[in-house]
């Protein structure tokens, strides 16, 4: 993967060119890395110390089979650590595209799961989606669903920025 | 492609570290253990490796005859019994099954009060367990036999929740990490006329998992009951609550 800091087309006044130029400053990348990496780090650390609690939270979604038990158990054990790995790599700037892609994948799955569960709960309580609050297992306790979904979508977009970016400024791995 | 390799690296790093740490963490999960049993046999199966202090539970088959015939539709086709009772499925997904604190369970308890009670009863029945309400639980608690040890209350929550407040005289049995709990509790089972298991109430299923475990360890199914209202209802009804670890200093 070559660093393409300055192979911009001559007509750099075009919108895409301007965005790419902004990217070469490394600032959008850094902000996105800090946002996604920082959030993942904080939330992962909150989950690491409580494997049993996290197991129960993962189970509540009903998206994973309970038989054989190893499926649910392995997911509960490894998911916080995968999040932490993504966080550290994003913050350090190593294996950036891969870490961002995994982060984006996780965020997409989480957003779907939270929305699915939120709708389930809303249907049972006979309320609207945004009135529902539950412990999503995100590491922040009981949260209202709609703000959490918006936060996830924002982080997903920022992870996308990291994937898209060609800059490697302020990264430990520059190539 | 490089990105795919990087993704594989990230996943391998996270998965490897997680599994490694879990293997050495005493509070970690046993990967092959069924933490959400539907039958006493399932509840006993994983405990042999984890309990350490108690004789193998999975072999206590004679005690399971009554409960197992009703409860074990077999571990493999677990979904059919659940799906045959949609209210049970719906009730299970109301908030509160799993929060580390009491608030979410209480919220689930309140939200699921009406349809929830029937759903809880259906769920208990599908596991071959008997549920009791507040009146029966309070009566059992006030019964002089409790002081003599013939009636035993079992708190199915973890140490922190137990110490924050439990039914006075109740013994803790944390299904997920039992530690020494079993050694204290198992000797009391043969002499007990009534064993009442409770947790947070509402959608908390830990009391049921713990009850199934006790069945697997030889508790008499006729004596075992799950107090579905849990500590939340106990408190709401103004009943006394003891704090701190067992044994309590006050009666």
Q: Taking CB atoms and an 8 Å limit, are A102 and B98 in contact across chains?
A: no
- More confident site: A169 or B203: A169
Residue B157 CA, chain-centre distance (Å), reads 7
Count chain A–chain B contacts defined by CB atoms under 8 A: 150
Give the torsion sign (CA, B166, B189, B144, B250): negative
Q: How many CA atoms lie within 13 A of A51 on its CB side?
A: 25
Query: Cα separation of B133 and B131, whole Å?
Result: 7
User: Quick check: B15 pLDDT over 90?
Assistant: yes
User: Quick check: B61 pLDDT over 80?
Assistant: no
**Cβ–Cβ under 8 Å, residues A85 and A41:** no
User: Quick check: A67 pLDDT over 60?
Assistant: yes
Nearest to A69 among B14, B22, B33 (CB): B33
Burial of B156 (0-12, 13-18, 19+ CB in 10 A): buried
B217 confidence band (pLDDT: 50, 70, 90): confident
- More confident site: B42 or A102: A102
Nearest to B95 among A77, A84, A121 (CB): A121
Most confident residue range from A3-17, B31-45, B163-177: B163-177
Stretch B82-103: mean pLDDT: 38
Burial of A49 (0-12, 13-18, 19+ CB in 10 A): exposed
Q: What are the tokens at A109?
A: 């799955």
Query: Cα separation of B39 and B64, whole Å?
Result: 9
Chain B CB contacts of A76 under 8 Å are: 29
ipTM of the prediction: 0.88
**Which residues, in sequence order, are CB contacts of A143 under 8 Å at separation 6+?**
A133, A134, A135, A136
What pLDDT score does B184 carry?
Answer: 87
- More confident site: B86 or B228: B228
Stretch A74-81: mean pLDDT: 97
Lowest mean pLDDT of A47-51, B1-5, B55-59, name the range: B55-59
What pLDDT score does B57 carry?
Answer: 41
Interface check A127 vs B, CB under 8 A: no
User: Quick check: A45 pLDDT over 80?
Assistant: yes
Nearest to B78 among A1, A67, A85 (CB): A67
Nearest CA in chain B to A142: B104
User: Quick check: A125 pLDDT over 70?
Assistant: yes
Lowest mean pLDDT of A44-48, A162-166, B78-82, name the range: B78-82
User: Quick check: A68 pLDDT over 90?
Assistant: yes
Stretch B86-95: mean pLDDT: 37
Lowest mean pLDDT of A47-56, B47-56, B73-82, name the range: B73-82
Q: Taking CB atoms and an 8 Å limit, are A124 and B90 in contact across chains?
A: yes
- More confident site: A169 or B73: A169
Stretch B162-188: mean pLDDT: 90
> Chain B: nearest CA to A109, how far in angstroms?
15
What pLDDT score does B245 carry?
Answer: 87
Chain B CB contacts of A66 under 8 Å are: 34, 36, 78
Query: Cα separation of B229 and B197, whole Å?
Result: 11
Nearest to A70 among B10, B31, B76 (CB): B31
Q: Taking CB atoms and an 8 Å limit, are B7 and A101 in contact across chains?
A: yes
Stretch B176-183: mean pLDDT: 87
What pLDDT score does B66 carry?
Answer: 36
Query: Cα separation of B35 and A23, whole Å?
Result: 48
Interface check A57 vs B, CB under 8 A: yes
**Which residues, in sequence order, are CB contacts of B43 under 8 Å at separation 6+?**
B34, B37, B57, B175, B209, B212, B213, B215, B216
User: Quick check: B206 pLDDT over 60?
Assistant: yes
- More confident site: A83 or A174: A83
Q: Taking CB atoms and an 8 Å limit, are A52 and B7 in contact across chains?
A: no
């Amino acid at each position: 993967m070559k660093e393409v800091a300055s192979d911009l087309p001559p007509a750099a006044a075009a919108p895409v060119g301007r965005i790419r130029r902004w990217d070469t400053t490394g600032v959008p990348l850094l902000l996105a890395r800090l946002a996604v990496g920082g959030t993942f780090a904080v939330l992962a650390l909150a989950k690491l110390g409580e494997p049993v609690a996290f197991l129960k939270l993962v189970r509540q979604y009903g998206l994973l089979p309970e038989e054989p038990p190893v499926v649910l158990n392995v997911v509960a054990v490894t998911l916080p650590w995968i999040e932490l790995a993504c966080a550290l790599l994003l913050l350090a700037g190593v294996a950036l595209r891969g870490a961002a892609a995994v982060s984006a994948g996780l965020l997409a799955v989480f957003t779907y799961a939270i929305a699915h569960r939120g709708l389930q709960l809303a249907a049972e309580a006979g309320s609207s989606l945004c009135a529902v609050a539950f412990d999503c297992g995100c590491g922040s306790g009981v949260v209202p669903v709609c703000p959490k979904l918006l936060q996830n979508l924002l982080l997903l977009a920022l992870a996308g920025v990291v994937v898209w970016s060609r800059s490697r400024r302020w990264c430990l791995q520059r190539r | 492609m490089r990105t795919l390799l990087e993704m594989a690296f990230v996943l391998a790093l996270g998965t490897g570290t997680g599994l490694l740490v879990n293997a050495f963490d005493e509070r970690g999960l046993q990967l092959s253990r069924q933490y959400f049993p539907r039958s006493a046999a399932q509840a006993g199966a994983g405990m042999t490796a984890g309990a350490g202090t108690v004789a193998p539970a999975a072999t206590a088959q004679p005690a399971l005859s009554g409960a197992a015939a009703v409860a074990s539709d077999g571990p493999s086709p677990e979904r059919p019994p659940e799906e045959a009772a949609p209210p049970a499925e719906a009730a299970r997904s109301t908030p509160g099954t799993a929060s580390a604190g009491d608030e979410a369970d209480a919220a689930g308890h309140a939200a699921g009060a009406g349809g929830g009670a029937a759903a809880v009863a259906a769920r208990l029945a599908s596991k071959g367990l008997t549920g009791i309400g507040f009146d029966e639980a309070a009566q059992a608690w006030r019964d002089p036999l409790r002081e003599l040890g013939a009636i035993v209350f079992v708190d199915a929550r973890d140490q922190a929740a137990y110490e924050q407040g439990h039914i006075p005289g109740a013994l803790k049995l944390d299904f997920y990490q039992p530690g020494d709990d079993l050694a204290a509790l198992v000797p009391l089972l043969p002499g007990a006329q009534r064993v009442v298991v409770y947790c947070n109430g509402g959608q908390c299923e830990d009391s049921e998992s713990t009850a199934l475990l006790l069945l697997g360890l030889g508790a008499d199914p006729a004596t075992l009951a799950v107090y579905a209202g849990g500590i939340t209802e106990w408190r709401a009804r103004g009943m006394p609550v003891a704090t701190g670890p067992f044994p309590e200093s006050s009666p």
